[in-house]
Amino acid sequence: MQVDRRRFLFPIVGIVAVLVAAAIVVVAVVVPQRAELDAATARLAAAVGERDAAAAAVEEARAALLAAGDEASGLVAVVGRGAVADPATLDALAAVTVDAGEPPVTAAVPASPGDAAAIDAVTARVEGETAVLEDRVASLAADRDAVAGASRSVVASVHAWGLNTPTPPHAPADAAAAYTTALDALAEPADDADLVGLVTAFRTAFTTALAAHEVASRSLDAASVQPTIINGTLIANKTFRIPSSYGAGLTPETEAAFAAMQAEAASLGLDLYISSGFRSFASQEAIYGNYVATQGQAEADTHSARPGHSEHQTGLTFDLNSITEAFGSTPEGIWVRDNAHRFGFIVRYPPGKEAITGYIWEPWHLRFVGVPLATELVTTGLTVEEYFGITSAYSY
């Protein structure tokens, strides 16, 4: 049987033609789609790379802030309030915390991997995360700078404290040199300096020099002993003496501050007057000697200073009104307790601190220390001895 091959040939040609057309369509449509997918995937990969770099930068910035915070709290622990000109700086440092939480990031897997539009949507989300992370880096860096700046200001403040604190005069040469060296190191510490170490070394050097000074001064006579000054505050107590020649009346600032306090008290109907002001070494010698003769030394020592140890010889101290414990309960005594610090005075021997100051409560005995220190002492409830970390006890 003769077969007409053309009858079969035509459909075959048709099928081939369809296949070729389909192939052309595949090449024309699918290949460009593939290229689009590849481009979208590449954009996503780049975005993820940037996002991961930003996330790493956040970790670095957090670590830097944590380190700055550790340094700051180390400084707060070492210096205490006494060495810082502005105690608010310490409060700010103590309040530093580093937020542990970070913005969440998306897993970089598109919802529909074959779809360029879906990949682009994920890319946009990743780019948004990068922006958030970069903001976080900037804010952590700003916090870090603020904390580091506060730490630097604490060190500057300790340095100023040192400049205001002469080398304890009777400290032996090696202790004096160590103090000067430690003080100089605080002047301009390098960027990578161990601030806590420097400040710790300074305080140790001062404490050592002060203790050596105190021991050496014990063997000196009253005329040879030199005054002890800590951050501008002249110290006269049972441990630290002032020279027998020291003092010549109340200082002008003490008199001016008393006049202001007296005037304000008078405007409230309160009568304040100085019943005992400056006392020379010689007059203190006579007063103390009289108490010893009548009461015995142990009793006399609870309320009267030995010559050279009296605050009355500093010119910064006076006794008010009646020199009796009852004064503390009078309107004048209560007002003085609550207001004297505004004029730069403290009730030097407060109740409950007898073992620290070495004296009974003396509501009448005021000491001028200036408004900032007086305010700080009243606010903290600390005595001069506690504030400066010193003792008040006779060594003889």
Q: Which is nearer to Zn ion, 129 or 319 (CB)?
A: 319
Binding residues (CB under 5 A) for Zn ion: these are 319, 365
| HEC per residue, 197-246 | HHHHHHHHHHHHHHHHHHHHHHCCCCCCCCCEEECCEEECCCCCCCCCCC
| Percent helix, strand and coil across the chain, each to the nearest 5 | 60, 5, 35
C-alpha–C-alpha distance, residues 203 and 383, integer Å: 20
Work out how close the CB of 324 gets to Zn ion at its nearest, in angstroms, rounded to a whole number.
12
Q: Which is nearer to Zn ion, 157 or 254 (CB)?
A: 254
Q: Which is nearer to Zn ion, 136 or 365 (CB)?
A: 365
Work out how close the CB of 312 gets to Zn ion at its nearest, in angstroms, rounded to a whole number.
6
Distances (CA, A) of 363 to 144, 149, 200, 242, 380: 47, 42, 37, 24, 18
Q: Which two tokens stand for residue 221?
A: 């006579």
Sole residue written with tokens 């709290």: 73
C-alpha–C-alpha distance, residues 393 and 305, integer Å: 11
Q: Which is nearer to Zn ion, 87 or 277 (CB)?
A: 277
Please give the residue whose beta carbon sits closest to Zn ion in the complex.
Answer: 365
Which residue numbers are catalytic? 362
Q: Who contacts 213 (Cβ-Cβ below 8 Å, separation ≥6)?
A: 168, 169, 170, 171, 175, 228
Q: Which is nearer to Zn ion, 179 or 364 (CB)?
A: 364
Work out how close the CB of 309 gets to Zn ion at its nearest, in angstroms, rounded to a whole number.
12
